[in-house]
Amino acid sequence: MGQTLTEKILDDHLVEGDLQTGEEIGIEIDQVLTQDTTGTMVWLQFEAMGLDEVQTEIAAQYCDHQTYQFDFKNTDDHRFLRSAAGTYGAHFSRPGNGICHNVHRENFAAPGKTLLGSDSHTPTPGGLGELAIGAGGIDVTVAMGGAPYYIEMPEVVNVRLEGELPDWATAKDVILELLRRLTVKGGVGKILEYTGPGVETLTAPERMTITNMGTELGATSSIFPTDEQTEDYLERVGRGGEYVPLQPDDDAEYDDEIVVDLSDLEPLIAEPSMPDKVVPVSEVAGTDVDQVIVGSCTNGAYEDVLPAAKMLEGREVNKKTEMIVAPGSKQASELLARQGWVAEMMAAGVNFSEATCGACIGIGHVPASDSVSVRTFNRNFEGRSGIEDDNVYLCSPEVAAAAALKGEIVDPRDLSDELGDLEAPGFELAEEYDASKADLITPDEAVDDELVKGPNIGEVPLRDGIDEDIAGEVLLKMDDNITTDHIIPATQDILMYRSNIDKLSEFTLSRVDETFADRAAEADGGVLLAGENYGQGSSREHAAMCPMHLGVEAVLAQSFARIHRANLFNFGIVPLVIDEDAYDGIDQGDEVEIVEDVESGVSEGRSEFTVTVNGDEEYTATLDASQRERDILAAGGKLSWTKAQAEEGG
């Protein structure tokens, strides 16, 4: 039987296990990336593990999420990250150089390689045929030290693209259509592999918009085959020599197939406040728009901004709307500036921003209360923009520019008459990506050779084993689809403590219940209760680290998002799956006990545990985990486990 492209790359990197769906496999990692919100802990863990040099082909540290240096805390973090990259042999991308996924694809991503990143949108370079997976920071630390990355072999789903995009329909609409059909849980446990005649009609940057947002489906990764489009892109970024032709075998068998006819697509938009609330733009046309932002790792490339710039040329942003353009990388900004497009956009009334994640996580450009913001981003979870009563819509740059011109949501096809000769701008690659690399410091150019820790750099929290019995209060009962933004918000006032877990923990779950951290500290721990898809969203390991620091011992949920589930193991919190009856039967404030030798049960492979509620009712909770995951959990987390292994190994 032939192999899928995913299987071919995994096979090339396989160090343990068989490529059977659901089996744990260990793979060699060629490249790692980390960013500033997750990177400080990555390097502190690297130091705590006693590692002394990066072992992967490429390791890259980006500063993108929090680039504004409001006070010493962010600057302390950036200085520490530069010193860690220099000391241990990683590339360092200075604040303002761009978003990790954009800078990585421009400089390092390569077909056939594996990439592990401590950011959930790491799969972006799947559009170049790289198998890229998002993970918790400590998994990245371990991979960077040269150890394999372990993962359950996902299902491989064939997303067959037919036809060709019509005018005004874009790559963003391809992934929005998949979100409309599959929802934010539709890709869980899956790698989406794109095939079919529609593939060759999409350029590499368009493919990367699609693979970037596969994360919103919950997919482990998304990948395209390589072809002339891939080679063309690599040549333009000056890395033509890294092209490798990669295709699945003709007789490859997939676990499932989804067909998308590109010719049927039209401009789509995700309504507030979930990326899968997708409708045709025409359905919400007429909604007044206060703010428009073009940018982010999904649509912040030169090629993404250019169509919006063309639509704005010679026109004016509506007086009642503010428009911000924040390219994904300084390279994109520089190219747009050299070609005069920045001036055109500014003349149209655009507020041009530095290359940063910024507004995507509520840092800068926070919308007004209860206003409408139309963005080209990938996520619109409630409150992520920095204000709780936000109304964030997600769409293509073309739809965003149309909204900015009209001052209300409008299908750009209906704007033509009003604005005269408004033609579909189409998708155009840069002639060549000849931009400065001044903000990328290679290991050879490193300016530090020892760690620099300012006062904002704290300690790595450690849990030493798990308790024999779990007994405590249900500290919080939560609904479905709780995001890592709910658990640890990423807004400026909170994010600046990412290197200081003691302080950061005070904000744990504050968006769900402001009293949570105090109650957890007072109760000296307890358990959390949640519905489906607990922990969806970012790879933020602080969302497990802070509950651990507050003494949370277990999370009972109907299901877990992949990266967060791994993070719970990595920080010694027992992730137990319960059914709907149990979820309905247990309430906040109930006392729960799991008293059947939890520690030995975890270590010895028991999958079912009895949860006694208020000394009376009993429910079954399931621990579905590999032996390696059980060992990590029993040790109290990955750091304790890795240290113990190192000691055993002498």
Q: Which residues bind ligand SF4 (CB under 6 A)?
A: 65, 99, 101, 119, 121, 296-297, 357, 360-361, 378-379
Pairing of strands 149-152, 190-195: unpaired
Cβ atoms of 315 and 348 within 8 Å: the answer is: yes
Our CB check for ligand SF4 shows the closer of 297 and 586 to be 297
Our CB check for ligand SF4 shows the closer of 160 and 379 to be 379
Our CB check for ligand SF4 shows the closer of 101 and 365 to be 101
Closest CA to 540 of 7, 134, 69, 83: 134
| Cis before 273? omega within 30 | yes
Rounded distance between C-alpha atoms, residue 90 and residue 59, angstroms: 5
Give 23's contacts (C-beta < 8 A, 6+ positions apart).
17, 152, 153
Cβ atoms of 376 and 295 within 8 Å: the answer is: yes
Q: Is 514 exposed, middle or buried (0-12, 13-18, 19+ CB in 10 A)?
A: exposed
Cβ atoms of 303 and 105 within 8 Å: the answer is: no
Our CB check for ligand SF4 shows the closer of 470 and 488 to be 488
Q: In angstroms, give the least distance from the CB of 160 to ligand SF4.
A: 27
Our CB check for ligand SF4 shows the closer of 25 and 60 to be 60
Our CB check for ligand SF4 shows the closer of 213 and 237 to be 213
Rounded to whole angstroms, what are the CA distances from 530 to 133, 389, 500, 541, 575?
A: 25, 23, 27, 18, 11
Q: In angstroms, give the least distance from the CB of 124 to ligand SF4.
A: 9
Our CB check for ligand SF4 shows the closer of 152 and 390 to be 390
- Tokens describing residue 154: 């996902």
Our CB check for ligand SF4 shows the closer of 6 and 66 to be 66
* Three-class SS of 3-60: CCHHHHHHHHHEEECCCCCCCEEEECCCEEEECHHHHHHHHHHHHHCCCCCCCCCEEE
Our CB check for ligand SF4 shows the closer of 13 and 65 to be 65
Cβ atoms of 432 and 313 within 8 Å: the answer is: no
For residue 523, give the H/E element and its range: helix 516-523
Q: In angstroms, give the least distance from the CB of 134 to ligand SF4.
A: 10
Q: In angstroms, give the least distance from the CB of 509 to ligand SF4.
A: 20
Q: In angstroms, give the least distance from the CB of 59 to ligand SF4.
A: 18
Q: In angstroms, give the least distance from the CB of 373 to ligand SF4.
A: 14
CA 197 to chain centre: 29
Rounded distance between C-alpha atoms, residue 102 and residue 99, angstroms: 5
Our CB check for ligand SF4 shows the closer of 186 and 327 to be 327
Rounded distance between C-alpha atoms, residue 492 and residue 648, angstroms: 42
Rounded distance between C-alpha atoms, residue 93 and residue 439, angstroms: 6
Q: In angstroms, give the least distance from the CB of 297 to ligand SF4.
A: 3
Rounded distance between C-alpha atoms, residue 340 and residue 325, angstroms: 15
Our CB check for ligand SF4 shows the closer of 101 and 565 to be 101
Our CB check for ligand SF4 shows the closer of 84 and 394 to be 394
Give 642's contacts (C-beta < 8 A, 6+ positions apart).
49, 142
Q: In angstroms, give the least distance from the CB of 380 to ligand SF4.
A: 11
Q: In angstroms, give the least distance from the CB of 379 to ligand SF4.
A: 6
Q: In angstroms, give the least distance from the CB of 300 to ligand SF4.
A: 7
CA 331 to chain centre: 22
Rounded distance between C-alpha atoms, residue 280 and residue 271, angstroms: 10
Our CB check for ligand SF4 shows the closer of 5 and 135 to be 135
Rounded distance between C-alpha atoms, residue 296 and residue 115, angstroms: 20
Q: In angstroms, give the least distance from the CB of 499 to ligand SF4.
A: 18
CA 88 to chain centre: 25
Q: In angstroms, give the least distance from the CB of 269 to ligand SF4.
A: 18
Rounded distance between C-alpha atoms, residue 147 and residue 28, angstroms: 7
Tokens 């689809």 found at:
481
Our CB check for ligand SF4 shows the closer of 80 and 381 to be 381
Q: In angstroms, give the least distance from the CB of 85 to ligand SF4.
A: 18
Our CB check for ligand SF4 shows the closer of 99 and 554 to be 99
Rounded distance between C-alpha atoms, residue 568 and residue 555, angstroms: 9
Q: In angstroms, give the least distance from the CB of 65 to ligand SF4.
A: 6
Handedness of CA 244, 262, 405, 427 (dihedral sign): positive
The number of CA neighbours under 13 Å toward the Cβ of 588 is: 12
Q: In angstroms, give the least distance from the CB of 362 to ligand SF4.
A: 10
Q: In angstroms, give the least distance from the CB of 470 to ligand SF4.
A: 33
Cβ atoms of 166 and 149 within 8 Å: the answer is: no
Tokens 């109650």 found at:
519
Our CB check for ligand SF4 shows the closer of 30 and 64 to be 64
Cβ atoms of 593 and 601 within 8 Å: the answer is: no
Cβ atoms of 87 and 451 within 8 Å: the answer is: yes
